[in-house]
């Protein structure tokens, strides 16, 4: 039976790598798929992994009918055996409904990859709709690590190395940006709640006033 599968996890846990692997495995068996993405770090119409792998994709722009796109490909005689969607958290809930329709009406597997929550720990609308509709939800087993070594469970947005909790929900960035730029960092819950990034932790460790020192 065809399924809508949501692969979720924090940044830096291998979602895009797995999406590329699924596409490669199926294409090696003669299957052809449509790959959608949205706001990838490599630019428009790209699906990229931090390992350096990149493939062409269809940019799922705001307001795009992704179901209609697949139907159009089929009506023109194109072969579509499956659908992959990376950065699925950025899709609108209506577009997630369209992906479910691809499964139910066209009988195609849809593999969606995305972050569940934003830098404020709030659900992305696209991810929320996937949780509501997906036949199966898979949490990626590759664990991203906080700077402290604990399992990273939250995504933090940083500016000049400091964690911020206000601003637009979607600002494209990466975990490998220079510290002075807007970037992202994965943290464990404890350090996310404390707003303690790797940069602020280093600054604190270097400060002579971190702990009070008294002499007898």
26 closest CA partner among 104, 108, 120 = 108
Kind and range of the H or E run holding 104: helix 93-106
Catalytic residue among 44, 87, 162, 166: 87
Tell me which DSSP letter residue 12 carries.
T
Q: Are 110 and 103 contacting, i.e. CB atoms less than 8 angstroms apart?
A: yes
87 a catalytic residue: yes
What's the CA gap between 126 and 26, in Å, rounded? 26
| Integer Cα distance of 2 and 83 in angstroms | 11
Distance from C-alpha of 143 to C-alpha of 156, rounded to nearest angstrom: 16
Catalytic residue positions, numbered: 87
């Amino acid at each position: 039976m065809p399924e809508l599968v949501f692969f979720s996890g924090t940044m830096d846990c291998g979602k895009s790598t797995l999406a590329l692997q699924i596409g490669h495995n199926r294409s090696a068996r003669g299957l052809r798929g449509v790959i959608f993405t949205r706001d990838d770090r490599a630019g428009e119409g790209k699906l990229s992994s931090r390992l350096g792998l990149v493939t062409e994709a269809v940019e799922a722009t705001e307001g795009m009918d992704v179901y209609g796109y697949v139907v159009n490909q089929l009506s023109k005689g194109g072969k579509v055996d499956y659908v992959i969607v990376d950065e699925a958290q950025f899709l609108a809930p209506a577009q997630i409904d369209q992906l479910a329709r691809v499964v139910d009406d066209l009988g195609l597997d849809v593999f969606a990859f995305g972050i569940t929550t934003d830098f404020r720990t709030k659900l992305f609308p696209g991810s929320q709709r996937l949780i509501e509709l997906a036949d199966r939800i898979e949490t990626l087993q590759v664990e991203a690590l906080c700077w402290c070594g604990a399992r990273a469970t939250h995504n933090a947005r940083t500016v000049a190395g400091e964690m911020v909790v206000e601003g637009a929900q979607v600002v494209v960035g990466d975990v490998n940006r220079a510290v002075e730029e807007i970037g992202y960092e994965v943290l464990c819950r404890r350090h996310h709640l404390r707003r303690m990034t790797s940069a602020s932790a280093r600054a604190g460790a270097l400060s002579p006033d971190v702990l009070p020192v008294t002499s007898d």
